[in-house]
A and B are shown apart, each in its own frame.
Chain A
């Protein structure tokens, strides 16, 4: 926020960033923390094949 002030007048807060009024915003998810690590997937056949060796 930028604060503009003239002597004897109330200060005015000027925003540094505003949305462009002609662009319709798209809703995108915002991350709130790291995603949990994906579990390691073990192919089902591995255990099965071992039994045959």
Chain B
């Protein structure tokens, strides 16, 4: 990811207006929590982006910081690429430092599009699960126009990433310097490797006007799916998650959605944008209809939704929240068990 500056330089600038939080990010920047993946963010500004000018200037000017990167949302005036950090909390804290410095809200802001970058390229099916899981688990339900997903590399002859929620990286710089949780030869013990097992490759998700919860959810989902693909420490949990997601979609007669091209993996699916968009529209229509149904339900049931198991037929939105909760709890539980010297 080209960003033309160092995280240390950014934090030193942000320290002026958010000293405590900037110090916390500096301490946590390489810290991997519970074996989850590192997190990179790209901030696309759909307005004029004036609030960012001072920050960009202090980082070395637009030519060093912005123009080094030809990639951005097609309607964005600028795309600020942030260096990756070791965990979702640090990524959120870094965003909050930028909010404080610029005075521009980054979360839930219609003018801001947040792109979350996870290391490792997921295959087509897992990319579908990542995107669907993100959409169902978000605190915001969105309708899309196909143009909302247009970037400067959608049609570029070199990259041809199409108009998708999930897009691959464009090669180039890749920071491997984050711990990767692996399993030792006996398959039981945790082996912490000092760096990621792949030399490059990312799966990015265009969240739109994203939230803190989106960052945490995508980080969890991407970790489970990337570990399942690369046989990392969380691979068994990741495979179990894939089965649970498949069952969830089956129950709602949406299983066919995963066969759509949610990511453009090569040159084969030239006409895949519309096929993907039809699948996305089907998901969106289903979810908006369900949101109306959920709102009509009694507040008593609503307040106790988290007690209902993920396999119940209480609706796809409830079920997705239960799945996220189940896997988040399991990751933390197993991770703490290891910290105390036990096996999973």
A residues sitting closer than 8 Å to B (CB atoms) are 2, 14-23, 25-26, 28, 30-38
Contact = CB atoms under 8 A, between A and B. Distances in A.
B107 interface: yes
Contact of A16 (B102, B142, B294): B142
Given A16-B143, A31-B104, A34-B100, 10 more contacts: A2-B143, A14-B143, A17-B143, A26-B212, A28-B107, A31-B99, A34-B101, A35-B100, A35-B101, A37-B17
A37 B18 CA distance: 9
Contacts of B99: 31
A17 B139 CA distance: 10
A18 B213 contact: no
A25 B212 CA distance: 11
B17 A36 contact: yes
Contact of A20 (B19, B138, B212): B138
Nearest to B101: A34
B17 A35 contact: yes
A30 B105 CA distance: 6
B321 A23 contact: yes
B288 interface: yes
B99 to A, nearest CB: 5
Contacts of A22: 294, 302, 305, 315, 317-318, 321
A21 B292 CA distance: 9
Interface in B293-317: 294-295, 302, 305, 315, 317
B105 to A, nearest CB: 5
